[in-house]
Structure 1
Amino acid sequence: MLSLLLAACAGGPALPPARPVAELAPAQWQAPLPHGGQPAQLARWWQSFDDPALARVVEAAQAASPTVAQARSRIAAAQVQRTGANATLLPRLDGTVSATRGISDPVTFQAPATTVQAGLQASWEADVFGRLRDDRSAADERLLGARAGWHEARVSVAAEAATSWFSLRTCGAIEQVAAADAASRAETARLTRLAADAGFQAPATAALAEASAAQGRMQLEQQRARCTSERKALVALTGIAEDTLAAWARDTHALPAPPNLEALPARVLAQRPDVYSAERNLLAAAADVGSADASRFPRLTLTGNVSRARFSSGSVDMTLNTWSLGPLAVTLPIFDGGVIAANRDAARVRYDEALLAYQARVRQAVREIEEALVNLESTRLREADAQRAVQGFRASLAAAESRWRTGLGSLIELEDQRRQALAAQNALVLLQQERAAALVALYRAAGGGWPPDDALATAPIPETR
């Protein structure tokens, strides 16, 4: 009765309400957890690139990643804790079986007696003040947070694999440019040597052409070594055989075209797994405060048992059935040396920490998305100028080569035009890689991409960023 009366006076913990994502971030960014955390939805985003091998590389990296495996292990551990917290709300039932044989009274020299007993013991704690329910709520939130951590691990590994694959493809594209440049230098050196042997060119000019050809071969070999290193790094990340990766990369040296982004839904912020996990941790910390606060109040427990015993000694043979209900016990903490108060204060401090961590995570998410958008737009604006630069330097190189072949131009002028054209081509390839890397960064900042088909249809307001 005392417990029931005190229940009317018990209140929840006085905690400041957590500010939701919609208040901490731009108003148009609101969303649930992305794609339901489904791997098929995550893989579908990579299939929008014009590269059939990209999705396979990402899938292999996720399958071979110890980070993803650790995330799955944390989910299993959180599931165990959630099951244990839920079990405390239910009655506990244990079965017991015992057998003894011996002489109970050695003075009268009675015959040995055998006692066999079997029974059931039950116990239950009435959660009058919500302590056990708070523990279960905290376990539920941590389980959701662990699942979001698995999703975050998959996104992180996918972004790393895609970046590594783009680096390998960029390396192959630059190797192709270097191979064409080396072949052109070698042909120039051959023609110059023939002209020098015939007396139409100075020996120094032939030496310059041969030096340029040697430099082209050196740059080509250096680029091949870089590509080999990139390929081996991707083998270590994905577990795919090096020959297979080399075959995929040989299919085409052009970088994959990024998907056409008509709009980025503003709701992607809240779908980030780290933001979702931080929110779950905040709610779990609030439940911990409630559980610690409820520990100050009485605990009501009820026990009972049912047993059947068989006793035999000499000519005596009997069976006994017993049962009991109770005691109904109320335990009220009176003096514990300040343990309950210290636990309650520590829980409140952990709640404050979780609240600040949640707010900081949202601000960091906004920053990462904005930076990725800025970098993506910057590469888009620079790509047209890079294309024009390549075309202009190629035309200038062709003109210089034509003048050199007719004897109207110098080899020094030709080599200068060749260097500029090579630099422009490499700059264009690196810019394309930068654009792909910016898109991968946006994928990661957005928490795993977004469905392009319903980007506008599901946005809460028309305005998107």
Structure 2
Amino acid sequence: MTMRRLFGAALPLLLGACALSPPPARVEAPLPGAWQAPLAHNGSVADLSQWWSRQGDPLLAQLVAAAQQASPTIAAAASRLEAARAQRVGAGAALIPSVDGFASVSRASQQSTLPGGTTSQLGLQASWEIDLFGARRGERNAAQERLLGAGALWHDARVSVAAETANQYYSLRTCEQLLSVAQQDAVSRADTSRLTGLSADAGFEAPANAALARASAADASSRATQQRTLCDIDIKALVALTGTEEPALRRLLAASGAVEPAALAISALPAQVLSQRPDLYSAEREVAAASFEVGSTQAQRYPRLSLQGMVGVANFRSGGENTQLDAWTIGPLSLSVPLFDAGRRAANVDVARARYEEAVARYRAGARQAVREVEEALVRLDSTAARSSDAQAAMAGYRSAFIAAEDRYKMGMGSLLELEDARRTRLAAENAVITLQRERSAAWVALYRAAGGGWTGRAAN
């Protein structure tokens, strides 16, 4: 009669459990049908993961590999991956019976006619919670999704470190080019100062012109020194990123030259490109995990069924005689029915749903940000390509003008002010070309990063 009443009380809960309805594990992201910026060409998406080795610059590939080995960011991501793998094992283990061994020895003596004796026991105990409504399965599935997401984030960390290292490397190479221009300019101004000083001593130039030439030479020398300082700072940043000893790094840098990044192609379909983003894949897996957790918390509001069992042997020794007993049990089979918890389980469901909504919002925001990153990289690449020919033409023209002004000044037909003005415009044009090359390199690296860095592993790690 008691069991009949128990099942009668549980019947409404059992029927309600049939209505478990967690939110969808997959949601749509707001992706455009096509890119609005002009696409990059003359490259291959398939070769994105080997992009560094295709640069024609073995030092860059070596530095990227060293940075990935030394990076604490990647090490932390690997630790999170191992933790997620362990959590997945633990969540899966909750679905199968657990078995524990036991052993005990005791000795007792009583004030009676019965002799004292030693009792020893040895056996196994088993327990199993039967997952009626999928609470444990939901936890296992959520752990599996987070394991997949952690594996993707490990790849994302590698891509991020590679991009950071490449940007720092290209920044250093740009600095070296600017230093070369600054040193050449300093030598040119020092020569002009020397010639002007000789002319002033001979009475052919005003002392003010000699002072202006000396000031110009000193200014150029100062700029060259400042540029060298910036290059030293870039080298030290590379040392910190890669863990390479600075003397060894300087030797490697001196033995190789700057190489422009190789082109890479981007698919016209945003959905295809963004499917290669490990961070978006991880965010998508977090949505699925949150969905499974909603189902798990819902299931915890309904009855729980558990089964226990035991098998063992016991021995009683008294007065030189042994008495052995073998025993086994199956049960009890117990049903636990939640009746009153002051709304705790319902609150847990609300919390899980709120986390699900947050995961969906993060995923969709991440998709929009990914689209923006690709679009911006494409716009910058198109802009640098369009400005390159104009910058080269301007540099060639200002160089010719400077050479002509310098020749006129040396022949006494031009003024020092005219020469200095032509020098400034030439220097600005040369620096503009180098800076434009750096901007283009940064755009290629940004596109590599925005396209996922060649990650394609959408499977368990």
TM-score by length of 1: 0.88
In the TM superposition, 1:41-440 aligns within 5 A as 44-103=50-109, 105-108=110-113, 110-111=115-116, 113-252=117-256, 254=258, 256-264=259-267, 266=269, 267-440=272-445
Unaligned 5+ runs, structure 1: 30-39, 452-465
In structure 2, the residue matched to 1:462 is: none
Q: Counterpart of 2:301 in 1: which secondary structure?
A: coil
Q: Counterpart of 2:414 in 1: which secondary structure?
A: coil
Q: Counterpart of 1:167 in 2: which secondary structure?
A: helix
Name the amino acid aligned to 2:402.
L
Alpha-carbon distance in structure 2 between the residues aligned to 1:151 and 1:9 = 40
Q: What is the deviation of 1:252?
A: 5.0
Unaligned 5+ runs, structure 2: 36-45, 457-461
Q: What is the deviation of 1:203?
A: 3.0
Alpha-carbon distance in structure 2 between the residues aligned to 1:202 and 1:349 = 81
C-alpha offsets along residues 80-122 of structure 1, whole Å, 9 cap, x if unaligned?
Answer: 111011001111111112122232x1344734x2222110111
Q: Counterpart of 1:47 in 2: which secondary structure?
A: helix
TM-score by length of 2: 0.89
> Matched residue pairs, number?
436
In the superposition, relative to structure 1, how do residues 178 and 9 fare at CA in structure 2: closer, same or farther (>3 Å)?
closer
C-alpha offsets along residues 272-308 of structure 1, whole Å, 9 cap, x if unaligned?
Answer: 1221111111101110111111112221211111101
Task: Give me the CA root mean square deviation.
Answer: 2.4
Alpha-carbon distance in structure 2 between the residues aligned to 1:194 and 1:28 = 67
Alpha-carbon distance in structure 1 between the residues aligned to 2:159 and 2:34 = 23
In the superposition, relative to structure 1, how do residues 381 and 441 fare at CA in structure 2: closer, same or farther (>3 Å)?
same
Name the amino acid aligned to 1:295.
Q
Asked whether the 8 Å contact 1:176–1:253 carries over to 2, the reply is no
Alpha-carbon distance in structure 1 between the residues aligned to 2:123 and 2:268 = 63
Partner of residue 12 from structure 1, selected from 8, 12, 20: 20
In the TM superposition, 1:445-460 aligns within 5 A as 445-449=450-454
Alpha-carbon distance in structure 2 between the residues aligned to 1:49 and 1:4 = 69
Name the amino acid aligned to 2:445.
V
Q: What is the deviation of 1:425?
A: 0.7
Alpha-carbon distance in structure 2 between the residues aligned to 1:47 and 1:179 = 32
Alpha-carbon distance in structure 2 between the residues aligned to 1:317 and 1:449 = 72
Alpha-carbon distance in structure 1 between the residues aligned to 2:455 and 2:119 = 70
Alpha-carbon distance in structure 2 between the residues aligned to 1:128 and 1:355 = 28
In structure 1, the residue matched to 2:39 is: none
Alpha-carbon distance in structure 2 between the residues aligned to 1:106 and 1:25 = 86
C-alpha offsets along residues 221-247 of structure 1, whole Å, 9 cap, x if unaligned?
Answer: 111111111111221122111122222
C-alpha offsets along residues 112-149 of structure 1, whole Å, 9 cap, x if unaligned?
Answer: x2222110111112222111111111110111111111
Asked whether the 8 Å contact 1:7–1:128 carries over to 2, the reply is no
In the superposition, relative to structure 1, how do residues 9 and 235 fare at CA in structure 2: closer, same or farther (>3 Å)?
closer
Q: What is the deviation of 1:170?
A: 0.9
Asked whether the 8 Å contact 2:388–2:436 carries over to 1, the reply is yes
